Structures are given as C-alpha cells and as structure tokens.
A = this chain, B = another copy of it.
C-alpha cells in the first residue's frame, strides 16, 4: 500500500528546501556532462538533461524525493487498476490501450486490456474495409476523407498526432485518407471545414465519451445538415467513438460505434479509440499499431525506480525542482520539427488540465505551487519570435527542446555548404548552449546572462514509434508530477462553473454583470 502525502510534509522535500543547491550552467557545461546526463527512451529516443540546472547532489535529493513519495509504486497502483482518480472514483487505464504493464485489470466484469484490444481490432477491420472499398458511400464510391468532430482531448491529441505523421505517411506509402478536424462551437469552424470538404466522400467520426458534449453534438448537427442538404444519408457517413453507456452507442445514426470508457481521460486518449479511429483511417491500422508500440516501450521504462534510467521520472523531478525550488512559473515546449506544430498545444492541455490544481487528492488546499503554464511553437520559427524574452527577459523560462537527425520527407537543398536539415539541427544545438552558457558583453544590451535551463529529446526521425514514445513520455511525466504534488491529475472540476453559467446565459436566466455582458454580446 502506498501513502499519499502532501509534498511539503516529506522529509526529502524539506531537505531540498533547506539545501536547494545552485548550479552555474556556464561553468559546468562540458562534453562529458552532455554525454553523461542522458537517458535512453523508447523507440530510439534519448532524453538529455545536461543543460538543466542540476548536479549530482541535487539529483541525489530528487531521487530521495522520488523514493519517499513512492512515485513508481504509485505508477504501479495506477497500471494495476487501483482507483487513482479519487475525485471521480475511477481507474486510470489509458496505458492498457498499448500494453500490459502489470497484473490483469478487471473492471465492470471484463478484462479491460482485452476490451481495449477488441475495440482497436474492430477499428482496424473497419478501416481496412473502408480502404479496400468494401465500405463505400451511397454511390458505391470510396471514401477519401475522414473528419473528426470532437473538442479538447478528442481533438488536440489526435490532431497533433495526425499532423505529426501526415508527411511521413505520404512519403512511406501508407497514407490512406486525408483527415480534417472540427472542434470549436464557433459556427465558422464547421462551416469553413465543410465548405472545403467533399462531403459525399467523407466519413465523419463523432467523438464524445459521454455522448453529451454540447460543442460536439452541435457540430454533429451542423454536419448532418450539410449531408442532408447534399442529398446524402448522414447515417452512411458517420461513425461514433463513445462509451458503451452513452446515447450514441447503439444509435442507428451511425455506420458503426467504437468504444472507450470512463477509465480513459480525454487528454490521455490519443492511444485509445479516440485517436485510433481517425489515425487508422488516415494511415492504416499498422501505422497505429507502430505508434502504440512506441508508447508501450516508454511506459515500460517508466517502471524503473532509478530516475537515471527512467526518463519520464527524471523529467518530472527536474520540473518539480524548477517549479517548487527555483520558482519558475512557465515551461516552453520547442520542437525543431514542423510536423510537431500542434504538439505543444496537446501538451498544454495534457499538463495544464492535469496539474493546474490547488487542492490535493483529498480535496484539501495545498500550500505549494503545482502545474506551470505550458506554451510553445516549432523552431526555428520561435527563434524569430518569442525567443527574445527567453534569452533576455526578466523571468527564466525552462525549455523542452525536441530534435530529429533526419527530416520525414527527405527533400532538401544545400545552401552555403549545409542542408536545411543540418541548419535546423545546428540551430537547436546552438540554442541549448546559448541559453545555458550565455555570453558576456560590455554592451549590456548584447549581454546574455545564460543560466537558462533546457533539456532535449533527440531521435533519428519522427516516425509512428518515436511519436508514440514522445507522447507517452509526457503523459508519464505529468502523472509523476501529479503524484509529487499529491493532486488528482485525472479530473477537471475547473471547467464546470463556466458550463453552468453559459447555460444560464442561453436560458436568459442572468442578472447583474453577466446580464450586461450577455447584452453586449447580443445573446
């Protein structure tokens, strides 16, 4: 049995507070350190933390914290099916969608791993029939496009994963169907997507666990309207991804329904049917399997109690050090890969929605800071934008770089003696050292203080496997940090109040300030 304690009650944390340590990055950075501060990840990736403001002593204290907080033991509770989501009294089983880390988990009378595999297999079969032309539209023609209708975790993760692999799939001959996404309740979102989509040859994937998400149901109506106006039978163009108990599960409005359940949180659902349907249709089930394989490799590494062999655990511990000891309020995610353009937006949800909490898992207010603000854009674009503040602003923002040795498409040009891919990689290497070491200049406007910490995840190429490992790394990091902070990373009560008030506005049941805002917005 593990015990759940607040961070500030732990002896090892008090030790850290009293002995915070101090690293002068410019002084310590050397070849040996870069070689040593490196942990193999799944799918051939490497997590390198040489440019983080830690040393052996600090790492020692962080490892003591990991031990006292029983982080890998809590991880084991999670994958062995304990009710880790205490707020909603639920199991947390997204990892079973890609493997079996511990014992068989039975819930609701079924082997949950078998259940998720069954859904994946059903999706694979369906996708193959669509690709082969066994499932076709009213006119007997093949479907060419898949449109996901979902919001939050049913949108950001699957969309980021699709964009990450789109060009890879085209290059490698596994691209099957173009995918599009409708998410916002802003009617211009659905209208614009539909105006540029050949609806007669499109399959729409409605994704809502409860089957009651207002934005998603509204956008479904939007789509049904468009299909009907085009003289089409909506039920021949729509599938549902939902829970078995939702109103969508057995409706004749859908060609098929695929299931997840309450044990898969939206922001952790990319490897479930939520990501599986659209990604299997777009790239084929084999590509989705490879993506799961990468995630499973990473999940297995996260079991290791030694942080120096557990990249997600080390990343989580360093993040806690930066947040609670050094007091940094934000973290930037900076992939040097255009294909990962929306990966920061997914991590923004994953991290901020999981760990942006002020009460512990027992509902008691905590007296330390929890999850940071997460933001980011791909490099080199960001270098010509907000990096100015990262280099010379008054606040220090820890950085998470991601880089790959090879591009996905492989088309390149040689200018001034180097390829674009070499320029891209040279820039990320240069940025790490520029941030860490700085450069003094008598002209203070050209002075770089350095001491701005970063880590980098390096891979050979962004493939289904490495994308899966990358995704799982951050999922596991976020969960470990939630354990450290003793919060429930799996509920999201903070989104409820807005929903309640929006309903009141729509029902015209408002007064005071809210009434005036409603009037100003002409509701």
Contacts and interface: CB of A to CB of B under 8 A. Distances in A.
Given A186-B420, A380-B186, A409-B187, A388 B492 contact: yes
A108 interface: no
Nearest to A378: B184
A392 interface: yes
A53 interface: no
Interface in A18-46: 29-31, 33-35, 46
Interface stretch (A121-129, A302-310, A346-354): A346-354
Contacts of A405: 521-522
Copies of this protein, total: 2
Interface string A503-523: 111100001111111101111
B384 A371 contact: no
A189 B339 CA distance: 8
Interface in A402-435: 403, 405-409, 411-413, 415-434
Interface in A361-382: 363-366, 368-375, 377-381
A393 B493 contact: no
Contacts of A423: 185, 214-215, 218, 502, 506
Interface in A270-323: none
Interface stretch (A233-241, A247-255, A437-445): A437-445
A382 to B, nearest CB: 9
Judged by DSSP, the binding face of A is: helix
A60 interface: no
B392 A188 contact: no
A362 B215 CA distance: 52
A420 B411 CA distance: 43
Contact of A521 (B377, B384, B403): B403
A28 to B, nearest CB: 9
Nearest to A426: B505
B338 A34 contact: no
Residue from A170, A371, A434 whose CB has the most chain B CB atoms within 10 Å: A434
B521 A425 contact: yes
Nearest to A220: B415
B156 A385 contact: yes
A46 to B, nearest CB: 7
B443 A31 contact: no
Contact of A409 (B33, B191, B500): B191
6 contacts: A185-B420, A222-B413, A330-B373, A357-B393, A383-B495, A448-B497
